[in-house]
Each structure stands twice: as C-alpha cells, then as structure tokens.
Structure 1
C-alpha cells in the first residue's frame, strides 16, 4: 500500500522550479500592450510581442504561474477528449479541421522554441489515447475515429492499451507531446525581462477605461495605459458587454503524483467514460512517476474533496500499484457553450481589448494557440484561426441548449444557497475543520485552523451573490455558480470575483452564546 495522501495540496510543477519574483505595481505606467494574467497565455503573448519590439507589461493578481498553468497535467496535444465528431456536427468540417490545426501549430511552436533555445523542460513526444470501457462510449470512440479520418488526423482505432486495464476500444493520435510547463515558461519569462518587459505580481486588475488607448485600473489605484489590453486571466477580469459569466462554467479536477509498482509503457491516456481517468509519466527526483488525473465536477458542486483524491488513489492501486504519493493538487478551468475557446475582441466595437479564455482543461495547446492569435491581432496580421475562435460567434445547436442549462444551474444554486442554513456551532469545530454556520440567522463560513484559531467569513460570493461551499481538500470556499474560490480567510484565489469575502472577528464569535448565534 502507498503512504497516506499528503496533508497539504501542492503542485509538483511549482515545487520543483524557482519562479522569479516580481514587485507590486507602485505607479502609473504606459506601454504598448498590457497583459492581465501570468499563465501560459499571458507569458507566451508577452514573449511573442516583446520579440517583435513592443513594450509589454504583465499584471498578475497573485504570483506568476500560480493559477491553472501551475496546476496543469501538461499534455501538449490536439486530442481534447471526444471533440472532433461534435465539432463537425456543430460547426462543419472546415472549422473542425482548423481547430486541429491550431492545436498542432501550438505544439509545433512549443517544440521549436524548446529546440532553438535549448530549454531543459523534459519535452518528449508521446502518442495520445482516449479509451472506452463501456458500450456507450465504445460507439462514441468509433465516431471520433471516423472524424479523424474525415479531417486527415494522424491516428486511428486500437483495441488495447499497454497496461492492466480492460477497455473496449481507443482512439490514438500520433506524435503528441508532454513537458514540464514551468521550466519552459520560466525561460520565456527570462527572455521577456531581457527585452525590458515589465512584470508585476500582487497587482489586481479590476476594470478598463475604454478608448483609443485603453487604461487598466488596478485595485491599488494605479493605472496602466496601453494601445492594447489582453485579458489572459483565466476568467476575464473585464467582461465588457460579452456576458461571459453566462457563457462559461468552471470545472475542477484532481491530480495525484504517484510512484507505481510497475514500469510505465509510455504514452498519454484519458478515459472517454466518467469519472475521467487520465495518466501520463513524469520524472520526480530522478524517478519515473505517474500523474493520475480525474474526478471532474463543477466547482463548488462536488462531494467531499478528499473523497475525489481517495477515488483516484484506489483506481491507481488497482491499475498500476502505488508505492508512494509525494504530491496531490487540483485545478480548474472554464468551458464555453460550444467547447471552443473565446479568443479575440472582447465585444464588437472594442478591437483593442482582447480576451483568451475557456480552454476546457487543454490549456497547453489552447493557451499557446491563443497567444499566437493575439499576437497577430495586435500586429494587424491575418490569421486563419480568427473567425473560429472569435468570442462573438454563435452556433445555435450547442449554444442555446447549453446556455439554458448552465444558467438554470446558476439560478438553482443561487436560490438553494440562500435557503440553506446550518445549526452547527463553531465552538464544536475541531482543528483543521470548516463548515457553514448560522449567526443571528445569517449564513457564515467557519474554519478552525491547526493552531485552534477560528476564522469566520461571509459566505456570499462577491461576484454575483451566490453562496460559497467549504472545500475540505483545499481548505477553501468555492462558489458553485461561476467558480470563484477564496482562502479560508476570505482572500480571492480564483476569479471572476475580485473582492474578498467579508471577515468577522473570531473572538467576538467565540464569546457568543448559543442563543446569540442562532444555533
């Protein structure tokens, strides 16, 4: 049996690389391009534009590479689950082919950059497999392989995969890749600074003053004026008239880094069936280990998060055998109505404010493809992928249905959260335990840390007012409506929320009687 799960969630990628530190923005500045968000899209965009001689600035609300990019699975692939048969039906063969080409162009860019710059980031080419274990998904795999054939994708149908898992069939896509994403991106960051690019941590962008030279307003009242603003901040920090809160949903998944009992045969794998199971190899401290990924659910709507990690561990034991689990972490990403990212003008009539979002957990290729497209838009160059990714597109078949489903879900959770109350007494919380409580008839969130200190926050999300839920695995408060996440002290971890949860004095709470507290 493996050692027990680590108590603290920590990304191997972030733990294995020294990430450069940057100051907070302390004055107003003017640049050619202001980029909000320090993940793969923002950094790659800044690198490309700095290489073109433009003055760039990156603003990150927390620390560089601390968001989704720092918690990815890091597959560089055009095999984005079962997608191509669906794209052909909804958008047509030509746009489905463009989607594939955009991902392969991104892969080629990463490979070329690694080779030309000699970046030691464990880049290796691998075949990618998506497999079925049920009759329902066996048929879907067959249709996906037919879509590969129609689109000229290098791949095909196989009956087995080379480890101890019985499957019905699988679609293979040849010549994909994997890497250590932060070793790659830290090199790009170094190149940006060599070109006098400016990078600012702990600088939260909150709004944009539009115009010929838009100005990004920050939470500490400093301003960045630019010719272009690029919103590369996972969820757009500025929505304009795009109504992106109604056009995307946030989804979480979980990762275990494990030392297996058996040698791994190579390749990258993901299940078509639910719950999702994804596998790739990784080298940790000189030893080959595996990343086991899955247990997807909408943010704030899952079971006890520790159970998701337990389920992954159980599956890993059955298939590979596990000797050790040195790391565990989780990540989330956004999905659009038609499953294709939004990249381009935030709304019509604002050509100098651009966004990139909705990567559906395939951010290594989609984020790089976004940066390549954003660069061309800024430079006024033609790009064959512009219409495919434009945020103003509309395909009735998936969009109307998904819009109604997702927003009915939001309304349902908004109402449910307001009606949900708790009789739990915060004085009964054990150390390292959190829960929803009621104080004077009002819904609050309580967490008692490992030292016994009590932290109380208002559970109303500062985005649109939904009620957050306790995430025991991450020790965070997560919003089930649009995916905002907060620390147990109320600080924003992930948007779209920009303001923290309101805090309450724990000493005052501990002094309340049960009658005062409404237990």
Structure 2
C-alpha cells in the first residue's frame, strides 16, 4: 500500500522481531494499531504477561492512515443517538468520547510523546440550505446534552457556510507517531511486541487458545482482536453486521494562510479536512470497499483544488474502516458468556478517540473490572437489524453473484496497470509493475469467495463484499480473510470464513 502522509514524514528507528518459536502468554493482543497498543498500555498497569502480534508493522493500518483528528464531534451523530436511543444514552456516549480525548492528552503529556500534538477547534457545517435543518437538530442535541458549542453562519468568501457548529479545545496529532510512542512505552515495560507475525489459525483448547503464527504456536489464556475485524466469527455473522467503507486521502501544502481547523461537512459527498500549519490532510470519496473507481478518486482530488488554495498534492492514499448500522462500535466479548475472547471493530471512521474508549473497555474485561461504557458497545446487542442492514447484505449478495459472472480479459496490462484475466479457465488478477514484472494471483477472496477488484491508489486487490485487502503480490493486508492469494501455478485459493468454532 502507499504510505500515508504521517508514515512518510515520521522517522521510525525501531523494529520488532517476528515470531520464530512457540510462545506462552496470558494475554495475546492481535493487532498493533491504536486500539491494541492502548489496550496493552492500560492492562500493563496490572500485569506484564502480554504479547502483541502485528501482521505488518506498528501503526501501518488504519491507525496511521487517518486525518489525525482527536474530537468528540463525529459529524451529526448526537441527534441521531437521541432519536434512536434516548438522551441518557447519548449523554453517556458523549462522555465516553470526551473522556477518551482527555485520556489521549494525558498519555501524551505524561510520557512526552512527540507526535505533533496541538489543540484545535472542530466544525461541522453545510453549504446546502436544505441541510440547515439537520445542523439545527444537532445544535439542539448539543444543548440537550450540555455539549459546549457555537452555532455559526458565514455569508462571506472564502469561508462561506449556510450553518455550522463550532467546538473549541479539541485536538489533532500525528497518529502514526503516537503509535510509535505507545510502543516505546510498552517496550520499556518489557511488553513483547512482534511485527510481521500474522495470525493464520486459532484453536480453542481446554486451557486457553492456540494461535498459529508464522508456523509456530502461541499459547494464550486470553485473546483480543484489535485488528479492525475479528479473525473468527463463531456464527455471530459480524461480517454481515458491518459494512467496509474505503475513503481517499490526500495531503498538500496550502498557498494561503488558513485557520488550524478540523472540518467536516454535513452533506454528500462528504469531505473531512485537517488544516495544520501550512499543510492539509483531506479525506473523502467514501465508497463500499472494492467498489470504487479511479474516476471517483480523480474527482475527489479535483474537489480538493476547488475547496482549498493548495499546491500540487504531495501524497495520496486510501484508508478503510467498518461502519455499523446503529452508529455504535462493536467492543467487548465475541461470545456472550466468554470474557477471555474479545474484539473491537466498527469505529465508523472515528478511530482516534474510539480506540481509547475501546482500550479501556477491553482492559476492564481482561482484568475482571467494571467498565462504565461496556453496555454502550456490546456486540450482543440487536439494534443493528434495520432496513440499511438488509440493503447492505443485499448489496453484498448482488456483488457476490456479479463477481462470479465476470469474464476476464485476454490482453496483459501495461506498466503500473492491472486487469482481471481469464487464464486456463480461471479468473486471475494480473498487475505489471514499473520494472515490467508481472504478478498473477488468484483473486477469489479466501474469506467467502467474492472476486477482488483492483485499487488503483494503493495498488491492492480489495474484496467488494466484506473488505479484505491484499497486496498485488497476494499477501493479506487486512481481514476478515485469513489467508493470502495464491500465485498462478500454485493451488487455487481455499475459502474459509472462520464462521464455526474450531475446537479440538
């Protein structure tokens, strides 16, 4: 994948070993992004029997690829929560996000983490007169929940807006540098971290779990999945309860001085911007994973030039997150009666604060402590069942069928291009790199058998059904798929959704 602005401009001098022998631990955390590292941080205050396993490098996933906002202003969320649940519930969720923001501030200051942290105001706004009523509804929700804000309007260029809600004293940071800072703290506490150590299988035993990593066995009493998606499902169909959404991101230099604001609009197409010093990171072009087009990305880049005075774009990349149908993340027990198997997912693109909230909930479970916020995010809730849930799963079914009916091309791609090609009666993905080398892989997703599409920004094969991503050489970048894409000449991919319990 292409490196984000944060990863490209942050020096990383420390790397961690990969698993090369059988290991034993009390707690195994799978995923070394913001959630995994912060969960280990809080849990390590009570025990050092923790190991963290990362399939790539620390912070290289969604954690190091977002806009860098730290805010409890999550679009037009709070009016929706009041309408769907009630005011007390919405107030608790606001407090959980507010506490997370304060906790991140405290961690950075206590440990002197160098991550470009600074205070910043945040605003959600609209330029569409038809959306003003939605801004006003959110404003009323803020008043009902005692959320401090300012209702603003501006009829003058270049900051014209029909209506907006401004919240002061939010924050921003370099999320990748923050991940590196957390890993340094854990390393000093002798918490073992392993990179390039992808989980391939897991079996439940009478005395805990056996994790298959790099051909070795890791024995653990408790397992936490903080890798965006739980590796196993146990017939809960979590993959059907969320939709994988990708978005495009760009970074550029600003030619005219702008306020150091964090901005998001209320209408579609969505764009979210973080302006800091002479730079801007902007996100937009949200679409179902594996269903975007290169033209959509080009249109997004053009919108950046139209909205802000910038030089040419210096970096471009994409990110992916899982969105739930009831607007709340899934954090807690994978199985209702088992506190030894936990996961966190469905952050709805607000992972910087939600990861901290999740870490507190997960750590409380691991240490048999009470969490004030666990019931807000229980994976066992049934509020996900809705019309959007039905529509999303119909979309998945349609794309599964369409992908099976696809016919591949017969001409090989040009340099830096990719094609789906019919070879020996089977559909393969073919990418030709700058050195004119061809990479041919079976693009049947090992999760549930959908045919992957090529992501022209990150040069990856992405599943249009449940969001698995693979490099053009076939390696798994992120699940729910647990296996790589086989190269031509090897066996065809084996489909295994890890739905049932694997116990022996």
Structure 1 residues 279-299: Cα deviation after superposition (integer angstroms, max 9, x where no partner): 11235xxxx211121111111
Q: Which residue of 2 aligns with 1:345?
A: 333
Q: Structure 2 matches for 1:76-225, cutoff 5 A?
A: 76-160=70-154, 164-210=158-204, 213-225=207-219
Shift of 1:122: 1.7
**Which 10-residue stretch deviates more, 103-112 or 15-24?**
15-24
Unaligned runs of 5+ in 2: 491-504
Q: Structure 2 matches for 1:57-76, cutoff 5 A?
A: 57-76=51-70
- Over 3 Å counting, the alpha-carbon distance change for 1:102 and 1:213 in structure 2 is farther
The two structures, once aligned, show a CA RMSD in angstroms of 1.9
Q: Which residue of 2 aligns with 1:299?
A: 289
Q: Which residue of 2 aligns with 1:42?
A: 36
Q: Does 1:245 align with 2:235?
A: no
**Secondary structure of 2:16 counterpart:** coil
- Counterparts of 2:233 and 2:200 in 1: how far apart (Å)? 10
Check the 8 A contact 2:209/2:222 in 1, yes or no: no
Check the 8 A contact 2:58/2:179 in 1, yes or no: no
Q: Does 1:413 align with 2:407?
A: no
**Which 10-residue stretch deviates more, 148-157 or 308-317?**
308-317
Tell me how many residue pairs correspond in the alignment.
489
**Secondary structure of 1:51 counterpart:** coil
Match of 2:474 among 484, 490, 496: 490
Q: Which residue of 2 aligns with 1:513?
A: none
Q: Which residue of 2 aligns with 1:514?
A: none
Match of 1:10 among 3, 6, 13: 3
Shift of 1:200: 0.8
Shift of 1:42: 0.3
What is the TM-score with the length of structure 1 in the denominator? 0.90
Match of 2:483 among 482, 488, 499: 499
**Secondary structure of 1:463 counterpart:** coil
Structure 1 residues 234-276: Cα deviation after superposition (integer angstroms, max 9, x where no partner): 1111222321111111111111111111101122101111111
- Counterparts of 1:136 and 1:403 in 2: how far apart (Å)? 26
- Counterparts of 2:419 and 2:409 in 1: how far apart (Å)? 10
Structure 1 residues 55-101: Cα deviation after superposition (integer angstroms, max 9, x where no partner): 11000111111110011111011111111111111122111111111
Shift of 1:308: 4.0
Match of 1:466 among 430, 446, 450: 450
Structure 1 residue ranges, 4+ long, deviating more than 6 angstroms after superposition = none
Q: Does 1:275 align with 2:269?
A: yes
- Over 3 Å counting, the alpha-carbon distance change for 1:418 and 1:134 in structure 2 is same
Q: Which protein is richer in helix relative to its size? A: 1
Q: Which residue of 2 aligns with 1:425?
A: 411
- Counterparts of 2:255 and 2:317 in 1: how far apart (Å)? 21
Structure 1 residues 291-348: Cα deviation after superposition (integer angstroms, max 9, x where no partner): 12111111111122xx344333322322322223222111110011212111111111
- Over 3 Å counting, the alpha-carbon distance change for 1:23 and 1:216 in structure 2 is same
